[in-house]
Structure 1
Amino acid sequence: MATSSVSKGCFVFKPDFKKRKISVPIEDYFNNEKVQSEDSKLRFETYHLLWQRIKSETEELQKKLNENLFDNLVDFLQKSHSEFQKNSRNWACQLKLREIPTAALILGVNVTDHDLIFRSLTETLQNNVTPYVVSVQAKDCPDVKHFLQKLTSHLMDCCVERKFNEEKSVKTLKRTNYSMDSLASWYATVTQVNETEYSERKRTSSSQWPAPPVVLILSDMESFSTKVLQDFISISSQHLHEFPLVLIFGIATSPVIIHRLLPHAISSLLYIELFQSLSCKEHLTVILDKVLLTAQFPFKISKKALQVLTNIFLYHDFSIQNFIKGLKLSLLEHLYSQPLSVLCCDLPEAKKRVHSLSVHQCENIRRLPSFRRYVEKQPSEKQVALLTNETFLKKETQSLLEDLHVYHINYFLVLRCLHNFTSSLPKYPLGRQIRELYCTCLEQKIWDSEEYASAVQLLRMLAKDELTNILQKCIEVLNSSTEKQLGNTAQKIKDFLAQFQNLDADSKEDEDACGSEAKGLQKTDLYHLQKSLLEMKESRRTKKQTKFEMLRENVVNFMDSLVRDYLLPPESQPLHEVVYFSAAHTLREHLNAAPRIALHTALNNPGYYLKNEALKSEEGCIPNTAPDICIAYKLHLECGRLINLVDWSEAFATVVTAAEKMDASSTASGEESEIIHARFIRAVSELELLGFIKPTKQKTDHVARLTWGGC
């Protein structure tokens, strides 16, 4: 429908309910023009199920990681007004209660994760401490009036048990101005509890108080105005005996910010206790350990893709939520672009799906580089069967998928054992974190690297206590696996431990031998002393290894054999493309955006984004059909540091009027010149908004260019 009006207006078009909404089938979302596959719906369902499992696992992990912090906060809040509850008439106690209990929660610079933490904290406090939990942000509180208004409105939304008192108090608050006096009277009305109600509630929920506190969370404390915080704290401290307020400051930088924002007269009204959350790097380590470094989830990420995700985390935002979104994007891209990702599921289900593979999917298996390398190593008869017989191919595919699953179980067990051996070595030749060791193992055969050789050399110098502790950790790693693999590896490590424990008697013999050598040096004659020293030096060169040194050598050789047998790179395994996502460039394009490159491409070649063939031009030419901002951008690239606006405007008019073949300075009418001038001003304003130019005081009719070079 079209409308025409002289003045501005609002036109409402009622929807036609007779027209039914056309629903798009689910499989259409996974239809890839470049990849022909008939399993698009099944791949979409596989993605949905896999992501739900990964999402629930990550949420549970984050909940466990924050559990200790939340428990400490709950204890602090429960004890904050306990003395006042017992001795409310004590004058000294009332003076002490002028200090507002304040929890300074240090969360780190990963600001994008703070909302999730505060939502979980609010839910925990409402379930264990008080129903009156309010969270406010600095953008909603420009002054004290709006602060109290926001606090009051959020308190009205809190869930309380006495609905009648709540409705009555709401009406009272609506009639009065927002102030701390009105909040105190509202709180007194809502928290009126007789003995029967209190005893009944005490039987059902012992953690609830008869008069619970009001918890106010300032999620971005650094962003609040200093005057607003000072006034609110000063007012609240005067009403603390009738309005039990507890503050929680969300701090991203350092607790010193409290004393920078608040003078001593105001900070002395706060009883501050610090609470430190776990480092975001520890969160990342746990998520990698439980999601990627396990055979529980069939989906895996290659070395380059994992480096893209970890580099964005370590060098950009430290955000666990963004890292999880990167995992989600990786899973989505893998199941969208790889037709054989339909087999990226649990092993029993994957074996069932192999039976229903079509002829086209069997050809996709034969085209895989890893499968082609596997076929080349087989005898000629088996090669013919794999390339011609689909039934035999499906049976072999099932066997290879099972081998891939066993490979991952053994791989991660040996990886953790190797990490226990190398994580405490000097200078960390193979990395301090397990993710660093994992990336090295993904890239190459780790035993061929110089870092591994130096690590083995250091392992041959470990003391007995260090070795026994490491072997004990390896036994715990092997026992933690539900699927028993690696043969009798655990038993061999236990035997090594037993042998180390039997070395105490031998160590005493070595000490006696050393003592006898020392006695041999007690000769006062210089000639005999020199002779004895030379004999000892020669004997040390040719002496045999002690039992401990031999046993330590056996342990290091045993670990080296495990590494060479089980830590082969994933590229060596047939059908690894089914479960491994390797398109790191796709992740980089979506997650690590380069805005300058995108802006330069859009302004220099608008046809790339607008999909318009008419906008394409030869290099160095400026098409007059391009948008005005593109014409102005290309013209400004030809200028130096200062751009003359008059010359720029004339060049712009020349390009714009090239289609009519007229001279903009002489033949164009006055009205057309004004329109072209207005278009030029708008284009220049847009370039200034994008940050390409800025006004300059050096010359009034010039602007300064802010960018140089191409992209």
Structure 2
Amino acid sequence: MESTVSVSKGVFLFPNGYKKQSQSKKKSQPLFEKLLTKQQWYITYKRNWNIIESEIKELHNKTYSILLNDIVNYLKSFDTDDESVQVNGIVPSATLLTGVNQPDHLSQFTALIEKIRNDVTPHIAMVNSEDASTLKHLVENVVWQLIHGHEALDMSIDEDTNNITFESKRLRKNQCTMKVLQKWYTNKYNTPSPKKKKHSSVKRSLVIIIPDFESFNCSVLQDFVMIVSSYVSSLPILFIFGVATSVSALHKSFPYHVSSKLLIQVFHSHSSPVYMNQVLEDIFLTHQSPLHLSGKAFELLIDVFLFYDFSVTGLVQSIKYCMMEHYYGDNTKSLCCERDRIEEAVTNLNSEDLENIRQLLSFRPYVESQDSQTQIKLFEDDNFFREFVYREMNKLHDYLYSFYMCVRLLTGFVKDLPRNPLGKSMREIYTKCTIDLVTDTHEFKECMLLLGFQSQVKMVEGIKNALKVINSLQNVSPVKPLRSTPTKNNYNNIKPSDDLGENFVKTVRVHLMIFLRQIENANTEATVLTKYNTDDDDDVENIPGNRYKLKEKLLQSTKVEKIQSEFEMVRSRFVSYLTEVLARGLRPPRSQPLHELLVFADVAAVKKQIVGAPRGALHTALSNPQYYLQCSCCHLPTSDSMSATLPDVSLAYKLHRECGKHINLYDWLQAFAAVLRPDDEDERSDNPEVQTRFTRAVAELQFLGFIKSSKRKTDHVMRLTW
């Protein structure tokens, strides 16, 4: 009977290989973004943060490029056909010293995997300690990633022929063993495939990455290394260990019979403080940065970095939070943007935004310094005020351009001085410069005094480095009148501030070149003139016992008058000029009008979120739940009062604080039931619901670490907090 012949009527379906594409649902935009996307401050924040993220990614790739290239070249040096690797089952391994900054390790190994996948092999397995509690789990995870890690590459290869196929059926994890891996590798690279002739001839290595070596179980890792070493003759396996502490941790974890199976090569990554200084100096501590942190805010973020986790990722996220706090809900902060966009941002400000700018604390002393006619126009004429804001924002950018140039100059001259009065790095000097006028401090005067004793070679080297800093700066665009508002408002009546910016930097550069030429050609020899007393005191020596006058005569004969050399005079003039330049360029940001628009200084607003206090937050949540729940049922007249509407764990916590070191569970249950069922005195403690709620609350307090079971008394628990 034919396939289309049937007793009953029907529809016959002939599959032709067509597969219906699943309609992808449109992702709904979050409500938060719907409300904020069109607001000017959010657009400015999003654009600026995208620029910062791209710069951080570029700096990260540049910083770790040398390290990644060294590791890749080491992996490439082991040819899969080289018999020296297979002798005695020795496994080549690269040990990467990553440092203790755990949150930054993910980005390092992500870049390493991408580099290895592009240059060495697509077969990579990265296993964390939480996924390898036993040897069985470790082997399954490694084998599964090595077998299926190449599928994305195979799919991209076969896309041109419109024939996307896999070599074999996808394996389950419980089927993944070393024998299965060996069989798969033999079929893939030793058996020629007509579809993949180009790739079957070149064998690829198998790379196993263990990023958190110290967190692994030593016995599990030892057994795994021994198993892998037995398969090295047929499988070209390479190890990459991520060690946070030192190489000694590797040798302590592996005994000799295990470490002898590893060919270890050590690679050192950049230390976290060094990388942090690069991120700050190249991205955030520049005049091109959209947001600038005050000294107190910057000091807080650096302290969190140095005293907590050494995480550059955490530091960047803290700066991002400060940036969100700076921009949120205030359209005037749209002026915190690139210099080319200031005109557009000023034009988009409405009357309410202009009034908010007038209420800034730095605007009042500026207005008081102007004449009465200008003051009236600044408050009543919006067009005139827009012109004022536009010019002041450009002057503020000129100030920041000169300020960061002077900070870098000061850093270059004082970072190598004895005892480092101002610090060694730019971030330390930046903090001091933004808090107060640094040229009036005792540390600055000590640095200038030490510069006055520097040698000619050291002075020439410092000036050359300063010229390199100035030459690396980009040109600043001149201030132009605001085209979108009238310019006939007699803006020239406003008293201009000191000229900073490009002209200031050019002048400093010219003077430094003159001083460099003078110091290089200066003579270092000094003339010494000796003055003797010409009085005739011949009788002094003849008078016996007159030793006092003889001592005075000898002291006068030793007095010399030293005339400074040419180099010393030029050096003295240079130190005086440097002090004058820095006093002009390093005025703190708070001295500038409208600095609040570009400088974030609200430390109290972000300190609670950046510096966590889990113990205090937990105590507040349990003793006063309304603080977080914001519900009327948890309202308490006093902090010590109790209510049946409180959460059970909160009620149990407040009752346990009234007890001593040992708490009787029966008495605790009676007090707990008395609060929940004040009317039912007879059967309230025998109620199963009350007992269940009490048991759960006690278990939660034990999990939080407030109590523990006592071995002295079975019906008591021990209190662990004061």
The answer to whether TM tops 0.5 is: yes
Instruction: Provide the rounded CA distance (Å) in 2 between the counterparts of 1:18 and 1:442.
Output: 51
Q: Does 1:301 align with 2:290?
A: no
1:21–1:500 CA distance, 2 compared to 1 (3 A): closer
Aligned partners of 1:26 and 1:41 also within 8 Å: no
- Residue 675 of structure 2, aligned match among 648, 655, 676: 655
Aligned partners of 2:626 and 2:635 also within 8 Å: yes
- Residue 124 of structure 1, aligned match among 104, 115, 127: 115
Unaligned runs of 5+ in 2: 1-23, 476-501, 532-540, 542-549
Match of 1:76 in 2: 74
By percentage of residues, which structure has more helix? 1
Q: Does 1:596 align with 2:622?
A: no
Q: Does 1:431 align with 2:429?
A: no
Instruction: Provide the rounded CA distance (Å) in 2 between the counterparts of 1:168 and 1:357.
Output: 59
Instruction: Provide the rounded CA distance (Å) in 1 between the counterparts of 2:396 and 2:26.
Output: 52
Aligned partners of 1:414 and 1:567 also within 8 Å: yes
Instruction: Provide the rounded CA distance (Å) in 2 between the counterparts of 1:425 and 1:51.
Output: 37
Shift of 1:443: 0.5
Aligned partners of 2:218 and 2:254 also within 8 Å: yes
1:362–1:605 CA distance, 2 compared to 1 (3 A): same
Amino acid at match of 1:52: N
1:688–1:54 CA distance, 2 compared to 1 (3 A): same
Q: Does 1:28 align with 2:19?
A: no
Match of 1:687 in 2: 701
Equivalence map 1:600-615=2 (5 Å): 600-615=619-634
1:452–1:22 CA distance, 2 compared to 1 (3 A): closer
Match of 2:565 in 1: 546
1:316–1:353 CA distance, 2 compared to 1 (3 A): same
Aligned partners of 1:447 and 1:453 also within 8 Å: yes
Aligned partners of 1:430 and 1:451 also within 8 Å: yes
Amino acid at match of 1:123: E
Shift of 1:278: 0.2
Match of 1:146 in 2: 137
Aligned partners of 1:169 and 1:186 also within 8 Å: no
- Note the alpha carbon deviations across 1:145-171, whole angstroms, 9 max, x for none: 332322222123333558799978535
Aligned partners of 2:104 and 2:313 also within 8 Å: yes
Instruction: Provide the rounded CA distance (Å) in 2 between the counterparts of 1:605 and 1:180.
Output: 57
Instruction: Provide the rounded CA distance (Å) in 1 between the counterparts of 2:40 and 2:259.
Output: 60
Amino acid at match of 1:67: S
Shift of 1:187: 1.8
Match of 1:630 in 2: 650
- Residue 95 of structure 2, aligned match among 89, 94, 104: 104
Shift of 1:530: 9.1
DSSP 3-state at the match of 2:708: strand
Amino acid at match of 1:607: Q
Aligned partners of 2:332 and 2:349 also within 8 Å: no
Match of 1:37 in 2: none
What TM-score do the two structures reach when normalised by structure 1? 0.85
Match of 2:41 in 1: 43
Instruction: Provide the rounded CA distance (Å) in 2 between the counterparts of 1:357 and 1:95.
Output: 72
Instruction: Provide the rounded CA distance (Å) in 1 between the counterparts of 2:104 and 2:27.
Output: 41
Shift of 1:625: 2.2
Instruction: Provide the rounded CA distance (Å) in 1 between the counterparts of 2:574 and 2:195.
Output: 68
Q: Does 1:706 align with 2:720?
A: yes
Aligned partners of 1:193 and 1:210 also within 8 Å: no
Instruction: Provide the rounded CA distance (Å) in 1 between the counterparts of 2:688 and 2:699.
Output: 16
- Residue 62 of structure 2, aligned match among 61, 64, 74: 64
Aligned partners of 2:100 and 2:310 also within 8 Å: yes
Shift of 1:391: 1.2
Q: What's the % identity of the aligned pairs?
A: 33
Instruction: Provide the rounded CA distance (Å) in 2 between the counterparts of 1:699 and 1:76.
Output: 63
Q: Does 1:443 align with 2:441?
A: no
Match of 2:338 in 1: 346
Shift of 1:283: 1.1
Shift of 1:370: 0.7
Instruction: Provide the rounded CA distance (Å) in 2 between the counterparts of 1:674 and 1:229.
Output: 49
Instruction: Provide the rounded CA distance (Å) in 2 between the counterparts of 1:533 and 1:64.
Output: 68
Q: Tell which deviates more after alignment, 168-177 or 281-290.
A: 168-177
- Note the alpha carbon deviations across 1:586-625, whole angstroms, 9 max, x for none: 3222222111111111111112222223422232322232
Match of 1:271 in 2: 263
Shift of 1:175: 12
Q: Tell which deviates more after alignment, 475-484 or 648-657.
A: 648-657
Match of 1:290 in 2: 282
Equivalence map 1:526-605=2 (5 Å): 534=555, 537-539=558-560, 542-605=561-624
Match of 1:238 in 2: 230
Unaligned runs of 5+ in 1: 1-16, 31-39, 202-207, 518-526
Amino acid at match of 2:559: E
Shift of 1:144: 3.2
Aligned partners of 1:145 and 1:178 also within 8 Å: no
Shift of 1:379: 1.6
What TM-score do the two structures reach when normalised by structure 2? 0.83
1:237–1:272 CA distance, 2 compared to 1 (3 A): same
DSSP 3-state at the match of 2:643: coil
Amino acid at match of 1:68: I
Match of 2:546 in 1: none
- Note the alpha carbon deviations across 1:262-296, whole angstroms, 9 max, x for none: 11011001110100100111111111112221121
- Note the alpha carbon deviations across 1:20-71, whole angstroms, 9 max, x for none: 97974746248xxxxxxxxx71111111111100000011111111111101
- Note the alpha carbon deviations across 1:344-363, whole angstroms, 9 max, x for none: 11122112221232111111
Match of 1:617 in 2: 636
Instruction: Provide the rounded CA distance (Å) in 2 between the counterparts of 1:173 and 1:703.
Output: 51
Q: Tell which deviates more after alignment, 228-237 or 191-200.
A: 191-200
Q: Tell which deviates more after alignment, 547-556 or 162-171.
A: 162-171
Aligned-pair Cα RMSD in Å: 3.2
Amino acid at match of 2:592: Q
Shift of 1:514: 7.3
Aligned partners of 1:105 and 1:277 also within 8 Å: yes
Q: How many residues align?
A: 647
1:243–1:536 CA distance, 2 compared to 1 (3 A): farther
Instruction: Provide the rounded CA distance (Å) in 1 between the counterparts of 2:26 and 2:419.
Output: 70
Q: Does 1:676 align with 2:676?
A: no
- Note the alpha carbon deviations across 1:660-697, whole angstroms, 9 max, x for none: 3x4x2x3x4676x3332332222222111111111222
Instruction: Provide the rounded CA distance (Å) in 2 between the counterparts of 1:23 and 1:552.
Output: 63
1:681–1:183 CA distance, 2 compared to 1 (3 A): closer
Amino acid at match of 1:350: I
Instruction: Provide the rounded CA distance (Å) in 2 between the counterparts of 1:175 and 1:281.
Output: 41
DSSP 3-state at the match of 1:613: coil
Match of 1:329 in 2: 321
1:199–1:471 CA distance, 2 compared to 1 (3 A): farther
